[in-house]
Structure 1
Amino acid sequence: MPAEDDKYPASTGRRRFVKGVVGSATLAGVGTAAAAGIDSATGPTGGGGGIIDFRGVENTKGPAPRGMPQIPLEVDDEGYLKGVWPEPETRVLDNGTEVVEAKMELGGVTYTTEWFQYCGIQTAEGVRPDADQDNYFRYISNSKYDWQNSEVEGDQKVHVDDFADYGSWGNGIGADGLGKPAQAKWRSEDVSSAETLPVQLIRSERIEEMAENNEWIAASTAEGFIANLNKCTHFCCVPTFKALPDSSSAGAEDRIYCQCHQSVYDPFSIVEESFAALPIPEGE
């Protein structure tokens, strides 16, 4: 991609992370300052809600108001990938209402499952803090990636070995060697398709480099893998990384591109932002 199309100079993942966080500081401050007013409209009626700080892949172009939240992940002893889900706990609010929360300190960041309560996901069974799910990423069927459709099956758990060629992989869209992507689902076993939590997964040497110099990236990624909840923050469409030839029209052939309204996200720029998380509906 030409330099003038990039928000930051070509550099290491570390430099991009730092600049991304600094660039979003003002936005995060504005969101927090408005917390009292917004929280009164989004206060919990069932589980969570209100102003939430999160880490996500940066929105660099298009109408999306913010980045998409990152999903911290880990690799188990057999090489299967799973998202990190904090242990749920019950908390009593000032008004006496009991709510179940799932949050933890991870890599110097307060990570909470409320990061994912937007775009209708707040009604999905899998996003409930105490939902009975095993947290493994599983491939979806009919992916936009030819390699995925031919080499693995839908509902199969994602394994490290499936990405052995991540340092050289390419599909004719953008530059080769930036990373190998897959489309997956998370905490979505035995639920309707409408309740699926879509995931964009990428394994990249750039993520490995970023993890060397940043506490959060080191704690939230593993073996070069990074994941985000793949719901565009504009109109909740499902974007993709290096999957659509027409992404070049938006200068997004090496980024996550939403073809619905041309929003673009940079998976190698993780920023801190704030938003008003929607509460889990009471009784759902």
Structure 2
Amino acid sequence: MSRDVDTDVYPPPTKRRRFVKGVVGASALVGLAAIGETAVDLTTNPTGEGGGVTEYYGIDVVGGPAPRGMPQIPVEIDDEGYLRGIWPPVETAGGGAEAAPIARTQLGGITYSNEWFQYCGVEIAPGLDPTADEDNYFRYAESSQYEWQNQEVSPNDRVNVDDFEDYETWGNGIGQDGVGKPAVATWRSTNVEDDAAAVIPVQLIRSVRVERAAQESRWLGASTQEGFIAILDKCTHFCCVPGYKIDPVSARYGAANGIYCPCHQSVYDPFVVSRQSFVAFPRPEGEE
């Protein structure tokens, strides 16, 4: 399934919130509770006005202009060791002319849905359609700034646990060794390889910090496996694609062990997970 970016992507008028390409909204983060080497934010104070507030769990933004953290993609591992993102069951919200599909479930006591990813234009990616026919496996991206990924795996291969056996010692000269082993991948994008704008980018990291935190956090216990955390890799500032340990310059901004966006120096901590929110603005007046 493909969708032209100029096509009206709104469902029939309903009381449900609307989403507009490029809108990132805002969040206020309070009440951080430390859990080992990771923190989980227990409260959210959403601000602003619009069509509705979407709450989600994501990594924390700790520097730069980004207004909020990037959302997590919950991870599961199949019997052969391949990683995939959890995609919720599809249900119908509303009724009659207002009925619309939504992918939604309870995970670790949290409501997880496809609405978590509806910003920066990702909401019109074919793979984010709740009913898209995708297998949910993470696949290695076409190009990577990680030497290990370019040498040891091939683009479009499914990501496997065995590829990360050295995660407790891996390093590339940026920041500390052994903090976490990364990869860049795609998700729910197997039918759009020829359309880069429709690909859903993912930052994967396997880390002992995630393993430890998952033992004490119900949410992280449900959304990570074997130390793997997956993040929708779209900076909430201007929708660039940041990276973990990809640029030596990141050290100037305290991001040598974090996720750094080289466009405007936003910094994210992949080992601090928060309950966050963004405000989805309503449909502009005059649009049907």
How far apart are the structure 2 equivalents of 1:257 and 1:147?
19
After the TM superposition, list the runs of 4 or more consecutive aligned residues in structure 1 that deviate by more than 3 angstroms. Answer: 11-16, 277-280
Aligned CA-pair RMSD: 1.8
Residue of 272, 275, 283 corresponding to 1:272:
275
Point out where structure 1 has 5 or more consecutive residues left out of the alignment. 1-10, 40-49
Residue of 63, 66, 90 corresponding to 1:64:
66
| 1:245 pairs with 2:213 | no
Q: Structure 1 190/279 Cα, relative in aligned 2: closer, same or farther at 3 Å?
A: farther
Tell me the TM-score normalized by structure 2.
0.83
Contact 1:87–1:103 (8 Å) recurs in 2 = yes
Residue of 196, 220, 223 corresponding to 1:220:
223
SS in 2 for 1:178: coil
Q: Structure 1 278/14 Cα, relative in aligned 2: closer, same or farther at 3 Å?
A: farther
**Which residue of 1 is the match for residue 81 of structure 2?**
79
CA-CA distance at 1:16 after TM superposition: 3.8
Contact 2:46–2:278 (8 Å) recurs in 1 = no
How far apart are the structure 1 equivalents of 2:282 and 2:78?
31
How far apart are the structure 2 equivalents of 1:239 and 1:104?
28
1:88-237 equivalences in 2 (<5 Å): 88-92=90-94, 96-191=97-192, 192-237=195-240
**Which residue of 2 is the match for residue 260 of structure 1?**
263
CA-CA distance at 1:17 after TM superposition: 1.4
Deviations 1:141-183 (A, max 9, x none): 2201010001100000000000000000000000000010000
Contact 1:75–1:82 (8 Å) recurs in 2 = yes
How far apart are the structure 2 equivalents of 1:54 and 1:201?
18
Tell me the TM-score normalized by structure 1.
0.84
Point out where structure 2 has 5 or more consecutive residues left out of the alignment. 1-32, 284-288
Deviations 1:67-100 (A, max 9, x none): 000000100000000000001111225x841110
**Which residue of 2 is the match for residue 6 of structure 1?**
none
| 1:29 pairs with 2:30 | no
Deviations 1:260-282 (A, max 9, x none): 000000000000111124799xx
How far apart are the structure 2 equivalents of 1:239 and 1:13?
25
SS in 2 for 1:206: helix
How far apart are the structure 1 equivalents of 2:232 and 2:209?
20
How far apart are the structure 2 equivalents of 1:245 and 1:30?
34
How far apart are the structure 1 equivalents of 2:46 and 2:162?
43
Deviations 1:87-127 (A, max 9, x none): 1111225x841110011110111111100000000110000
Matched residue pairs, number? 249
Contact 2:180–2:205 (8 Å) recurs in 1 = yes
Q: Which amino acid aligns with 1:147?
A: W
CA-CA distance at 1:30 after TM superposition: 3.2
**Which residue of 2 is the match for residue 38 of structure 1?**
50
Relative to total residues, which structure has the larger helix share, 1 or 2? Answer: 1
Q: Structure 1 136/277 Cα, relative in aligned 2: closer, same or farther at 3 Å?
A: farther
